[in-house]
Structure 1
């Protein structure tokens, strides 16, 4: 009977295993996170299986929030990051406490119920698992002992650097002092040359300001009949028609050739060469009214200076006495048109004033052209007249104060008007605004075969 009673009691206990008794519920309600601290009643023996199981905490942590290492300490001492396969949050917190052994810091988790106090001791030395970070906290005395030698070392290094920089500065100063004499000599030469240059500029004879007296002849307006004739030849119906033929030069002027005198067109060789022939005929008709000039055509300079260089023999027969009727060195001015690809310029041999001139409506400069013409004049004088002309003393001038073109197509017209006004013995009293009129007048003079 006794055995039966014992078995029955065990059976009742086993049946009530899954049912929570009031005492077990109360113990569960009061259970808190204890960090492995065993209660005083845990040593008491118990015959009940439920009482033995209740002595141990559940495997699952009962805390409501995760407990990590303290934020300030972790940032300061660079605690190792939790590994993905770490034991538990409780284990991580205990691992973090191993690094702190001195000062205490209390962190309140902020729950209404009483929470355990976590004591953190900040050790004198803390080293992370990461070998790249090493933090050492020393006491005041130890810091002073360790810092003073390093400070002395740094001060000695600073003194050494200062001494080396001072030595370098002294060397630089000495080298600069050695150069002072040379710099003073160069400065004296610069001042001397500047004064000399200013004296030469002052000694240069100033051009005489002539009164601006513009004659009427170069600007005589066209009549209505002359304008109508010119506009008629510019029409498309006369493009293939030979309008005029210059007998001495044997040049035919068709309507298509004359089209180059229309606005915005480039002048061609036929129109330029015919107009230069008309200027020579004008001088022949009235020799007292115009200067004695010679007008080379647009092919002369190309023959004189070709790709192979200067060649006087190529143009030696161009100026024979039988062809010209006069010696070239007896002229006042010799005009040489220069064609530079798409641009017309003018070179002038001014025998009367013993100078070589270069005129460019775009203010260009080319000494090669004037040097070639100077050599040509010496060869020509010796070949045709048996005279030796020393052109080394002649001036070479690139005329700057002259009318300039304001577009990209009137360079040929400017060149012709330079020749026209110089052959009259006049200054260049025209500008860009006169170019439309000069185009019409040149066309009219070519159609009449008479330059006025």
Structure 2
């Protein structure tokens, strides 16, 4: 029920959006929230082991390989504030953009630090592909991490997940105006989009119950 107005979006809804985008296929990679959660729960000394574990679990999940990947989208949760934000890795530009609808001076440093740790884990996961397809010395950990000034700001404490879902769907925000980020109808649109996804295994059940 977290898609109701003024309700906080949980990881299950965000991941449903990720699954939907993965199924559509593109030159981009969309990671589940599981990846950043695992990094957040792992000490620095255990990041290599985590990378090996994740390599087995997710390395074949995407329709295009790293060589052809344009952008990598990684939803991240600030657990202290229960706040979602998004990392967008621009592979060709060697840059990581931090899309945050509610920046916090107090917690900005920790968000950058987590982004750095996530980049290290990407290096561990995709080391073989990096060595094979890119120039010597290429590392995600060396990418410049910047806070983009293109991210819109939320006006409440509950819409961060809606912002992230919109950015996942359309990072340039070309298909919707700024008002849709804040409007309750945007939650309806997101709900219907997820519900009508042909891969939704409960679609038939929902239709029958609505009769």
With normalisation by structure 1, the TM-score equals 0.37
Distance 1:308 1:369, change over 3 A: closer
Q: CA deviation at 1:325?
A: 4.3
Residue number in structure 2 paired with 1:377: 122
Q: Secondary structure at the match of 1:405?
A: coil
Q: Give unpaired runs (5+ residues) of structure 2.
A: 200-211
1:345-384 superposed matches below 5 A = 345-364=85-104, 365=108, 366-384=111-129
Distance 1:427 1:433, change over 3 A: closer
Q: CA deviation at 1:427?
A: 5.4
Asked whether the equivalents of residues 345 and 359 of structure 1 are also in contact (C-alpha less than 8 Å), the reply is: yes
After superposition, give the CA deviation of every residue in 1:276-323 in whole Å (9 maximum; x if it has no partner). Answer: 1112223x3xx5xxxx111111111122342423332231213323x4
Q: CA deviation at 1:274?
A: 1.0
Asked whether the equivalents of residues 130 and 139 of structure 2 are also in contact (C-alpha less than 8 Å), the reply is: no
Aligned length: 183
Residue number in structure 1 paired with 2:16: 274
C-alpha distance in 2 between matches for 1:274 and 1:439: 14
Deviation larger for 262-271 or 427-436: 427-436
C-alpha distance in 1 between matches for 2:4 and 2:98: 27
After superposition, give the CA deviation of every residue in 1:111-156 in whole Å (9 maximum; x if it has no partner). Answer: xxxxxxxxxxxxxxxxxxxxxxxxxxxxxxxxxxxxxxxxxxxxxx
Distance 1:329 1:315, change over 3 A: farther
Asked whether the equivalents of residues 361 and 414 of structure 1 are also in contact (C-alpha less than 8 Å), the reply is: yes
After superposition, give the CA deviation of every residue in 1:34-70 in whole Å (9 maximum; x if it has no partner). Answer: xxxxxxxxxxxxxxxxxxxxxxxxxxxxxxxxxxxxx
Q: Secondary structure at the match of 1:373?
A: helix
With normalisation by structure 2, the TM-score equals 0.75
C-alpha distance in 1 between matches for 2:100 and 2:175: 13
- For the pair shown, which has the larger CA radius of gyration, 1 or 2? 1
After superposition, give the CA deviation of every residue in 1:336-379 in whole Å (9 maximum; x if it has no partner). Answer: 11112211111111113220111111124222122123323333
1:339 aligns with 2:86: no
Asked whether the equivalents of residues 406 and 432 of structure 1 are also in contact (C-alpha less than 8 Å), the reply is: no
Q: Give unpaired runs (5+ residues) of structure 1.
A: 1-258
